[in-house]
Amino acid sequence: MKKLVYLFGLGVLLLKCSNPSTVEPDVNGLDPEDPTRIDLLQVNLQFPHKDGLCNIGADITPTESTVFFEWKASSIAESYVIYVTNLVDGSQIEARTSEDKIGIRLSRATPYSWYVISSSGTASVESETWKFYNSGPGVETYAPFPATLVAPVMASSVNAGTVSLTWTGSDVDEDIVGYDVYLGLTNEPEMHSSNITTNQIDVVVTSGNIYYWRIVTKDEIGNTSESAIFQFKVL
């Protein structure tokens, strides 16, 4: 009996030795599996302001200006990568820095979105995504930002029947008057509903089909903007 107890104890000891319970800390002395590490990596965007008009810059010409992006630095981040997307043509700028700000040359009178990925060792965290307009000469009113499609998410699958299309909209001038909803079975969907004043609409979809949809946002001056086109499959 004593021999059996001894063997059992030896087995437990070997198991502990072969499966260490601790993970080698990173260069900041933090356990990579510690959830607080993610909180420490997270950065808060500061400028250009969310859904705002950026009229501060450098090297300003009639068509371009250098915009200085700023965020609250992480206490443990080793580097940052900023992504700035032109919401008109979809082109994207990627820039890396170890500072909490960076200047990027952009087209004027153009809407953009941006976010920052902060990294430490093998861990990285993505910030919120903000939109802004880079102001242009002589522009007194700006088109709404392209709507952000929320649900169904891109390339998702849904059940047949009634599906809720959901999106968000924003505008520097805060004068959005409605949305036109396009929905169809081709990648150039036709108008489904117009002048919707909410951010959601229920539609009926049929099993076995792939649907495409987009949103056109309209303001009271007559300016419009088109969202990206999303698709979803109906089971």
Q: For residue 146, is pLDDT > 60?
A: yes
0.95 exceeded by pTM: no
Domain-wise residue ranges, the chain: 35-134, 148-234
Alpha-carbon distances, residue 147 vs 57, 86, 119, 173, 214 (angstroms): 26, 14, 29, 15, 9
Highest-confidence segment of 9-18, 111-120, 130-139? 111-120
Q: For residue 119, is pLDDT > 80?
A: yes
Say which amino acid occupies 119.
S
Q: For residue 24, is pLDDT > 80?
A: no
Q: For residue 73, is pLDDT > 50?
A: yes
List the beta strands (DSSP E) in the chain: 44-47, 52-54, 64-72, 79-86, 92-97, 101-107, 110-120, 123-126, 130-134, 148-151, 156-158, 161-168, 176-184, 190-196, 200-205, 210-219, 224-226, 230-234
Per-residue model confidence as pLDDT tens digits over 173-189: 999 999 999 999 999 99
**Does residue 65 contact residue 110 with C-beta atoms inside 8 Å?**
no
The predicted pLDDT at position 141 comes to: 86
The predicted pLDDT at position 38 comes to: 81
Domain 148-234 class, CATH top level: mainly beta
pLDDT category at 36 given cuts 50, 70, 90 is low
The number of beta carbons lying within 10 Å of the beta carbon of residue 86 is 16
Q: For residue 206, is pLDDT > 60?
A: yes
35-134, CATH topology level: Immunoglobulin-like (2.60.40)
